[in-house]
Amino acid sequence: MHKAGFVNIVGNPNVGKSTLMNALVGERISIATFKAQTTRHRIMGIYNTDEMQIVFSDTPGVLKPNYKLQESMLNFSTSALTDADILLYVTDVVETPDKNNEFMAKVRQMTVPVLLLINKIDLTDQEKLVKLVEDWKELLPQAEIIPISAASKFNVDYVMKRIKELLPDSPPYFGKDQWTDKPARFFVNEIIREKILLYYDKEIPYSVEVAVEEFKEEAKKIHIRAVIYVERESQKGIIIGKQGKALKKVATEARRELERFFGKTIFLETYVKVDKDWRSSDKELRNFGYQLD
């Protein structure tokens, strides 16, 4: 009998959801960086064997939306509650259980299995961890609580074992050779955006979106032309940097990462354009692939 199901990963920003997803799927699918709000979309990673297919879904961190982009991000997180066969709720040892009561109330009503994963346990001691487990047990009595460290892969194997045991009987949802639901261009955007998150400070990364205007793939090489959109002229100057050095650094690092990702030689051209208020425009957000309804 074949097993298949949707395993959705939710939780607040910066608790390590993307690192966990990469550890479970074994592919570097979600860009994991040290800044909050890195994941803006719902990204699927598909784990295939002959007997089963697990469709993992990493979602943006749950947060109170301040503008349209964040509303879309919250939509992705909330929709993950409706179609999950198994829910992985990720928290960590720093976070208190009462951080997001509205979202928690929705999780409490779920009838599918919930695995509550307390991440980063290497940052605490046994006594505090025991107390944290008790607090969570009170808040989510139906959940199975598993302490983990996604970064050092501690207990990740056990989480995978439980997922396989809880997975429903079902034919596969995707082709067995597929490892994500996203097209190649999507990963180009994410990789360039990751480098921007790493190299620029303050609000710059959150004002940036990337669009791939050209993606020409040949047997051994790929030509890519990408546009980095910012909201203001001043941001454009910061992205390009003195004598274009900042942009050159981002492009070089992104190209190296893309070569690793696609296993081919990459020719990457990057341009910077100003698009005022893209974060608040329905039309622009739809063009960038955000879900607004």
CATH number of the domain where residue 157 is located: 3.40.50.300
Local structure of 11: helix, strand or coil: strand
Local structure of 28: helix, strand or coil: coil
Is 17 annotated as contributing to ligand binding?
A: yes
Is 58 annotated as contributing to ligand binding?
A: yes
Ranking 28-42, 51-65, 125-139, 176-190 by mean pLDDT, the lowest is 28-42
Distance (Å, whole) CA 251 – CA 230: 16
Residue 154 lies in a domain: yes
Range of the domain at 69: 1-164
Is 237 annotated as contributing to ligand binding?
A: no
Residue with tokens 């960086």: 33
Considering only the C-alpha atoms of the chain, give the largest distance between any 2 of them, rounded to a whole number of Å: 61
Is 101 annotated as contributing to ligand binding?
A: no
Local structure of 176: helix, strand or coil: coil
Is 122 annotated as contributing to ligand binding?
A: yes
Residue 279 lies in a domain: yes
* Residue 148 and residue 187 share a domain: no
For residue 162, what pLDDT is reported? 97
Is 14 annotated as contributing to ligand binding?
A: yes
Instruction: Write out pLDDT tens, residues 5-57.
Output: 999 888 887 888 878 888 888 755 544 433 334 444 456 788 889 999 998 88
For residue 225, what pLDDT is reported? 95
* Residue 234 and residue 149 share a domain: no
Number of domains composing the chain: 2
* Residue 119 and residue 193 share a domain: no
168 secondary structure, DSSP code: P
Q: Provide the percentage of residues in the chain whose pLDDT is more than 70.
A: 78
Is 13 annotated as contributing to ligand binding?
A: yes
Is 12 annotated as contributing to ligand binding?
A: yes
* Residue 101 and residue 229 share a domain: no
Is 287 annotated as contributing to ligand binding?
A: no
CATH number, domain containing residue 197: 3.30.300.20
Is 85 annotated as contributing to ligand binding?
A: no
Instruction: Write out pLDDT tens, residues 71-129.
Output: 555 555 566 677 789 999 999 999 888 877 777 888 888 889 999 999 999 999 999 99
* Residue 139 and residue 3 share a domain: yes
Is 91 annotated as contributing to ligand binding?
A: no
Is 249 annotated as contributing to ligand binding?
A: no
Is 59 annotated as contributing to ligand binding?
A: yes
Is 61 annotated as contributing to ligand binding?
A: yes
Position with higher pLDDT, 55 vs 276: 55
pLDDT of 59 over the 80 cut: no
Residue 53 lies in a domain: yes
What is each CA distance from 284 to 85, 206, 259, in whole angstroms? 33, 15, 29
Distance (Å, whole) CA 99 – CA 116: 15
Residue 169 lies in a domain: no
Residue 121 lies in a domain: yes
Residue 271 lies in a domain: yes
Residue 175 lies in a domain: no
For residue 125, what pLDDT is reported? 93
* Residue 43 and residue 146 share a domain: yes
Is 62 annotated as contributing to ligand binding?
A: yes
